[in-house]
Amino acid sequence: MQQFLGAPSDARVRVAVDHREDEIFDDLFKGMGAEVDRRLLDVGDFLCSSRLVIERKTRADFEQSIIDGRLFSQLQNLVSNYERAVVVVEGVTDVERLSRNALLGAYAAIISDFGASLIFTKNKEGTAELVFHLAKHEQLSKKQPMRVYAKRRTFTPSQTARSIVESLPMVGPKSAKAILKHFGTVEALVKASERDIAAVPGIGKKKAKMIHAILTYEYSEEEDETAVY
């Protein structure tokens, strides 16, 4: 089901904010003259229009989401539901857990494989300012309406299999297709050795190691329930 929100009568900008986001954003947006619609969002952290969604990540969570593969499954949801997707990486960190090559590879996948925009901000104030101006451009300049419920797609079995593989670390749509073409099924991939995975064209040893580590990782309910921001 979709819900559209018309422009406010006084033509003010409206921003939909996921209820899990810091409430400081409400004050920041209102301080800029925007209306805030706080609710549970199916996809993303901020909505600027019916076509533009924003996923916000702190620098630490951005790196962790690359390591555990969440980033790429989230990106798949973003681009499947919205025409324009923006990933905002907020803040800085003194300790980088990923190499420069790994980070640049992730940047390339976000932009090239998923067609999303990648923007860095220093703090929450910078993020709020960016979101506000994107919403202003969408709603007042482009006259785009607001849709606060994601447009869910129905996937074929092959598309579902690809989405599962895309949730793995450093795997985008092109790599997922190559992996499934090589192994044939998700089951065969799960049973594959690290060496077998590395044999897939375009994967290599480093990606294979990360993929195999997740496929063989022992599930921890306690870890699963630990919030990462």
- Separation of alpha carbons 94 and 219, rounded Å: 29
Stronger pLDDT, 193 or 80, i.e. the higher one: 193
Q: Which residues pair with 64 in a beta bridge?
A: none
Please name the fold of domain 157-217: DNA polymerase; domain 1 (1.10.150)
Residue predicted with more confidence, 205 or 4: 205
Q: What is the dihedral of CA 107, 113, 116, 121, to 10 degrees?
A: -10
Q: Report d(CA 8, CA 26) in Å as an integer.
A: 17
What are the extents of the domains in the chain? Answer: 4-147, 157-217
Q: Quick one: DSSP state of residue 192?
A: -
Residue type, 192: A
pLDDT tens, residue by residue, 131-167: 999 999 999 998 888 766 555 555 688 888 888 898 8
Which CATH code, of 3.10.20.30, 3.30.70.1450, 2.40.40.20, 3.40.50.10130, is assigned to 4-147?
Answer: 3.40.50.10130
Higher local confidence (pLDDT), 154 or 216: 216
What is the value of pTM for the model shown? 0.65
Give the integer Cα–Cα distance in Å for 220 and 142.
46
Mean pLDDT of the chain: 87
Reported as a single tens digit per residue, the pLDDT across 2-25 is 444 444 445 789 999 999 999 999
Average confidence (pLDDT) over 31-42: 92
Task: Give the pair of three-digit tokens for residue 141.
Answer: 């300049």
SS3 per residue for 50-65: CCEEEEEEEHHHHHHH
| Residue of higher predicted confidence among 220 and 122 | 122
